[in-house]
Amino acid sequence: MARLVFLGRLEDVAGVPHMDCPLAEPTALADLLLMLPTQLAEALQGPRVRIAHNGVVTEAAGLVVGDGDELAFLPPVSGG
């Protein structure tokens, strides 16, 4: 099981703030995205969306997700 977290407008696309994804084995991000609704998968791969893997911002390319991992999808930020 991996937890996907959707920040900002991505929560609206997903319809939920986070979801748990069953994983039989360590799974490439690209394969994990295939398990999601197309519209959500496309939004998560937007050019300005960054990814945090277990709380560390990382590159999407080559990312492998394991059991118990948390993957957060981070659209452009806006604070203050």
- By C-alpha distance, which of 54, 59, 63 is closest to 3? 54
- Report the alpha-carbon distance of residue 14 to residue 30 in Å, rounded: 17
- Report the alpha-carbon distance of residue 9 to residue 24 in Å, rounded: 29
Of the candidates 37, 66, 68, 76, which one interacts with other proteins according to CB under 8 A?
76
- Report the alpha-carbon distance of residue 30 to residue 61 in Å, rounded: 9
Interface with other proteins includes 37 (CB under 8 A)?
no
Of the candidates 3, 5, 45, 46, which one interacts with other proteins according to CB under 8 A?
5
Interface with other proteins includes 46 (CB under 8 A)?
no
Comparison of 7 and 63: residue with beta carbon closer to other proteins: 7
Residues contributing to the site for other proteins (CB under 8 A):
5, 7-9, 12, 52, 54-57, 70, 72, 74-80
